[in-house]
Chains A and B, each alone.
Chain A
């Protein structure tokens, strides 16, 4: 009953969406605000409707209604309640409902904003949002229905379907298959939702861009409106990616945080264009330039989001992350075709109207450097895109499969990341419009010298690897330049207004959140760079089979296999938990507990590492599960990951910086209007 109710809610939502699309279209064409208002209300209605449907699924999941196919495929009686709720996005059908729910949420949030200055945009924003929502609803209703039930035939065949086939009865399995063990982790609560939030929220800036193209209002208004939306979307996407890396490192036990897997890259590509957009949009705001390019970037970001979702779910790419192949591929392909072709047509139609207002005066101006930044990001995007697409190309033209793995991406993008670091060091010191080598040189020599000092210290301490030294030097350089910016701004405020340094810093950041938030993000990036250089270039590993009491050594660490306990947990796993004691340079520093969990239902093992974390490095131990695990002999893989915790710290600061940058200030134009008003009153009064 609940299942049927939930399904009905989805159908009603689809009908409401289709109505909304039609009403908005009609109202915009015939210039009838009443119809547009009706469409807006329809869009508002979609959210409660999809919520009802999602709640129905959650109820079925928590309650253990295994006669519903989705429930039995992603839950089992041994799963705790919080995991049963997260199973909503654990499988293809449920995750599509979750996507739709987020889409409806953002559509609602956007309708509730103040529209009086952007009335012409409203109908088209409604159309784009509802078309996207309707597409996902069609996928769910006709292809990946989470409310399908299981029906049992007399010959013991079980079939899934929405309505009862003749001669069958409802099938109530005793237990479900359970969520993939890799997903049974608190990380499951946050990582997929964050990623989906990131993806879905990029629909809104795209909707405004399309609205601007259709209405011809291609001035700065659409950029000002979408800038904060884009920042929020980018925040969620960054958070989703960072959390994914942390989860992989913590739980999945292959010693890494990013595998350059096609699905990871599919989520990374919109992030690249989103970052490029966030930079180049500043050029349009400050100097009125690059209108074409900003349009292209936003359209590209949305297209990459849809494209990435398609790749993950259609089975076109082979990946450890991919959902099981399904019939939604062709429909998705149609939607992609529609999106790409419509966007390109609209863009080309308005191309000549997106005229620039200012010209470039200096090669070293901030605009020029931001453009270089964009070129580098596009370069990285091309590498990622082509690396993902090439195996497909090879298979189509030669019939043979190829692997494009991490070495390709690392070698191809390495120099580009280095270039971006160089830009991060120079651009904050370059002025808008006009900059010469002299002005730049004056501002840059102190951080430059500081960074050289840092590098000399590193060389003296024994680091010889040239790529590492180059990377560290760049990181030092960027850190010095960015911190100098904080210092100069704080000192200027202090000397002008007499504020104490901490207060001056607070007010400095508070009065100019986008700029200093951005600098905080750059600091975060620098810290992540430290971590990444450490783990990528200086990781050491060893593997050995130990019997109880035996030792193994890695660098200055000696680990002793103390004991092993094997037991069944109360949530359907057999756990083998090893205890290793760790000595560093002969001194005892603690114990590690790598374990192997074997999940009975899905017959899948998981190896969870034991990690000892310090700022200097992580000692990371995996209990190898393809060899026998006994107290007489167990095999361990041991990694030493230097500086990796700087990466996580950098991630936190990165997110903090984004929050600072996105924190709402009074709308600058409201302030302007008020100022204008006050000046007028003052002039006349």
Chain B
């Protein structure tokens, strides 16, 4: 009788062994999934809270081809102060600052150590060219192909202007149109003296 019970218990135990291994795998997978999900949400949240590229960081490099076919790369403009302006022809606030930006460019143009670059964001070529002609803009402008540059800079709309110093460090971020020519000059002049 005792032997029967013992056999029963042993069989029951050996029947249970495969089951107890399975939950261990399951536990690992379950905890890993939760951890992965939380990590994903954490970084997603971080990214949302981050906003655009911050002042003081190295400005990400980019290249683009202007509407007249020339290629420009940020990395080749070392030693110069670079103003990068994102705009679009359908953007009404962009028009507010277009004239001032061109005036500022003409004031700095002869110096040779200031570069203005305009990137047309999610725009159509014809309308972009019309916009450039309307405001008589002479500094290099080109489409932000595939919106890659704006995504690298994590822009949230247009117009936005990023000013980079001679060492490639982002020094000023403007997330709305410039209100006056003086405001533009005030952002650039301090960087010229460095």
- The answer to whether A and B touch directly, with their CB atoms under 8 angstroms apart, is yes
Residue numbers of A with Cβ under 8 A of B are 310, 314-316, 325, 329-330, 333, 336-337, 340-341, 344, 348, 351-352, 389, 392-393, 395-396, 399-401
Given A316-B48, A329-B49, A395-B47, answer yes or no on A340-B40 (Cβ-Cβ < 8 Å): no
Q: A392-B44, A396-B47, A401-B147 known; 13 other A-B pairs, CB under 8 Å?
A: A310-B41, A315-B48, A329-B45, A329-B48, A330-B45, A333-B38, A333-B45, A337-B38, A344-B30, A352-B23, A396-B40, A399-B151, A401-B151
Interface string of B40-67 (1 = CB under 8 A from A): 1111110111000000000000000000
Whether the pair B38, A393 counts as a contact (CB closer than 8 A) is no
Across the two chains, which residue of chain B brings its CB closest to A401?
Answer: B151
Whether the pair A316, B38 counts as a contact (CB closer than 8 A) is no
| Interface of chain A, main secondary structure | helix
Q: List 15 A-B contacts (CB under 8 A).
A: A314-B45, A316-B44, A325-B48, A330-B45, A333-B41, A333-B45, A337-B38, A340-B37, A341-B34, A348-B30, A352-B23, A389-B40, A392-B44, A395-B47, A396-B40
Across the two chains, which residue of chain B brings its CB closest to A316?
Answer: B44
Across the two chains, which residue of chain B brings its CB closest to A332?
Answer: B45
Whether the pair B151, A333 counts as a contact (CB closer than 8 A) is no
Contact size class for B? Answer: 20 to 34
CB distance from A497 to the nearest CB of B (A): 49
Query: A395: which B residues are within 8 A, CB to CB?
Result: 44, 47
Query: B43: which A residues are within 8 A, CB to CB?
Result: 396
Query: B147: which A residues are within 8 A, CB to CB?
Result: 401
CA distance A351 to B19 in the complex (A): 12
Given A344-B31, A348-B30, answer yes or no on A399-B44 (Cβ-Cβ < 8 Å): no
Across the two chains, which residue of chain B brings its CB closest to A395?
Answer: B47
CA distance A348 to B47 in the complex (A): 33
Query: A310: which B residues are within 8 A, CB to CB?
Result: 41
Query: B45: which A residues are within 8 A, CB to CB?
Result: 314, 316, 329-330, 333
Answer yes or no: B10 CB below 8 A from chain A CBs.
no
CA distance A314 to B31 in the complex (A): 24
Query: A400: which B residues are within 8 A, CB to CB?
Result: 148, 151
Answer yes or no: B27 CB below 8 A from chain A CBs.
yes
Across the two chains, which residue of chain B brings its CB closest to A330?
Answer: B45
CA distance A442 to B166 in the complex (A): 85
CA distance A400 to B49 in the complex (A): 17
Answer yes or no: B152 CB below 8 A from chain A CBs.
yes
CA distance A330 to B43 in the complex (A): 11
Whether the pair A314, B48 counts as a contact (CB closer than 8 A) is yes
CA distance A389 to B37 in the complex (A): 9
CA distance A330 to B42 in the complex (A): 8
Query: A396: which B residues are within 8 A, CB to CB?
Result: 40, 43-44, 47
CA distance A503 to B47 in the complex (A): 63
CB distance from B111 to the nearest CB of A (A): 34
The number of inter-chain residue pairs (CB within 8 angstroms) is 48
Whether the pair A333, B48 counts as a contact (CB closer than 8 A) is no
Which residues, 142 to 180 on B, are CB-close (under 8 Å) to A? 147-148, 151-152
Query: B38: which A residues are within 8 A, CB to CB?
Result: 333, 336-337, 340
CA distance A379 to B148 in the complex (A): 34
CB distance from B31 to the nearest CB of A (A): 7
Which residues, 44 to 98 on B, are CB-close (under 8 Å) to A? 44-45, 47-49
Query: A392: which B residues are within 8 A, CB to CB?
Result: 40, 44
Query: B152: which A residues are within 8 A, CB to CB?
Result: 399
Query: A316: which B residues are within 8 A, CB to CB?
Result: 41, 44-45, 48
Whether the pair B23, A351 counts as a contact (CB closer than 8 A) is yes
Query: A344: which B residues are within 8 A, CB to CB?
Result: 30-31, 34
- B30, B34, B40, B148: which contacts A393 (Cβ < 8 A)? B40
CB distance from A260 to the nearest CB of B (A): 20
CA distance A399 to B53 in the complex (A): 12
Given A314-B48, A315-B48, answer yes or no on A333-B42 (Cβ-Cβ < 8 Å): yes
Specify which of B27, B41, B43 lies most central, judged by the most chain A CB atoms within 10 Å of its CB.
B41
Query: A336: which B residues are within 8 A, CB to CB?
Result: 38, 41
Query: A333: which B residues are within 8 A, CB to CB?
Result: 38, 41-42, 45
CB distance from A359 to the nearest CB of B (A): 13
CB distance from B147 to the nearest CB of A (A): 8
CB distance from B13 to the nearest CB of A (A): 14
Query: B23: which A residues are within 8 A, CB to CB?
Result: 351-352
CA distance A396 to B48 in the complex (A): 10
Across the two chains, which residue of chain B brings its CB closest to A343?
Answer: B34
Query: A314: which B residues are within 8 A, CB to CB?
Result: 45, 48
CA distance A383 to B44 in the complex (A): 20
CA distance A399 to B150 in the complex (A): 10
Query: B49: which A residues are within 8 A, CB to CB?
Result: 329-330
CB distance from B44 to the nearest CB of A (A): 5
CB distance from A329 to the nearest CB of B (A): 5
Query: A393: which B residues are within 8 A, CB to CB?
Result: 40
Query: B30: which A residues are within 8 A, CB to CB?
Result: 344, 348
CB distance from A21 to the nearest CB of B (A): 24
CA distance A246 to B23 in the complex (A): 45
Across the two chains, which residue of chain B brings its CB closest to A347?
Answer: B30
Specify which of A325, A329, A351 lies most central, judged by the most chain B CB atoms within 10 Å of its CB.
A329
Query: A399: which B residues are within 8 A, CB to CB?
Result: 151-152
Across the two chains, which residue of chain A brings its CB closest to B30?
Answer: A344
CA distance A491 to B31 in the complex (A): 53
CA distance A144 to B152 in the complex (A): 31
Given A314-B48, A329-B49, answer yes or no on A340-B41 (Cβ-Cβ < 8 Å): no
CA distance A393 to B44 in the complex (A): 8
